[in-house]
């Protein structure tokens, strides 16, 4: 039987004090398998981003477990969490989070600095990703010289630079126009279908549901419905290689 790549058991996240508690997640359990494209769908405030942040190790659950390939990351030290976020997952945010003082190549290569990768190798990797995403001519530009769609593609390239097997995307088209949104969603689809990356996407846009293998509906911190859209790719995560589009 195929083992899940991500397993969440009775996950809860509570904010605030005893008198003013807000339960963002309420006893959520879910299994995600390698090669799946999972979409978490629901209105603002339903717990979608909190769920992603717990998977990413950005937030620590109030109770429950987040198990990634057999490891309970809630037990990780800060150093172990930083290493996990740097090497095992790629995170794409709505706000791009590119550094304005770095050029495009430097932004993409940044995660490899923390690995101790030489400048020559990390620059070559960044240039390879730029070429794949059709941005080769923009490598020396700074983010303020790029469109929103171009900045988000730079952010996706940065998320891929350490060759992770899980991509986490939190409303990645929220700040983009319709054309740029379509380009970013098509790119995520290719990364899932052609390079077999597991994609976990948060959205409130119903147009994005068509990309999913499964849609997880959230409301008030709970899973209210789960829809299977199409069969996921059968892939052994240990056999995933470099990104090829």
pLDDT tens figures, 159-194: 999 999 899 999 999 888 898 899 889 999 999 988
Token pair belonging to 74 = 């809630």
SS3 15: strand
> Which residues, at least 6 apart from 146, have a Cβ–Cβ distance to it below 8 Å?
104, 138, 154
Write b or e for each residue in 17-49: b if 16 or more Cβ atoms lie within 10 A of its Cβ, otherwise e.
eeeeeebbbbebebebbbbbbbbbbbeeebbbb
Nearest to 215 by CA among 230, 226, 231, 200: 226
Token pair belonging to 172 = 């990645």
Pairing status of strand 198-203 against strand 166-170: parallel
Higher pLDDT: 39 or 3? It is 39
Question: Sorting pLDDT into bands at 50, 70 and 90, what band is 238?
Answer: very low
Residue-wise pLDDT tens digits, 71-118: 999 889 999 998 899 888 999 988 888 899 999 999 999 999 888 889
**Residues pairing with 9 in the sheet:** 65
Write b or e for each residue in 174-206: b if 16 or more Cβ atoms lie within 10 A of its Cβ, otherwise e.
ebbeeebbebbbebbeebbeebbbbbbbbbeee
Nearest to 49 by CA among 95, 98, 4, 93: 93
pLDDT on residue 233 = 59
SS3 28: strand
């Amino acid at each position: 039987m195929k083992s899940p790549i991500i397993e969440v058991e009775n996950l809860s996240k509570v904010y605030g004090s005893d008198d003013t508690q807000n339960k963002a997640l309420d006893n959520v359990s879910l299994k995600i398998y390698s090669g799946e494209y999972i979409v978490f769908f629901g209105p603002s405030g339903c717990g979608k981003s909190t769920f992603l942040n717990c998977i990413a190790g950005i937030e620590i659950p109030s109770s429950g477990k987040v198990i990634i390939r057999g490891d309970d990351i809630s037990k990780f030290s800060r150093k172990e969490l930083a290493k996990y976020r740097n090497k095992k997952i790629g995170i794409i945010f709505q706000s791009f989070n590119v550094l304005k003082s770095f050029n495009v190549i430097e932004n993409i290569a940044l995660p490899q600095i923390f690995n101790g990768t030489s400048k020559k190798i990390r620059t070559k990797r960044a240039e390879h990703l730029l070429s794949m995403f059709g941005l080769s001519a923009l490598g020396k530009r700074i983010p303020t010289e790029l469109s929103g769609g171009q900045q988000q593609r730079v952010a996706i390239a940065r998320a891929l630079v350490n060759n992770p097997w899980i991509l986490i995307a939190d409303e990645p088209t929220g700040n983009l126009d319709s054309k740029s949104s379509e380009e970013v969603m098509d790119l995520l689809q290719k990364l899932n279908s052609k390079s077999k990356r597991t994609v976990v996407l948060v959205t409130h846009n119903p147009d994005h549901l068509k990309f999913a293998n499964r849609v997880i509906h959230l409301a008030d911190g709970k899973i209210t419905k789960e829809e299977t859209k199409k069969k996921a790719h059968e892939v052994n995560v240990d056999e995933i290689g470099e990104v090829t589009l």
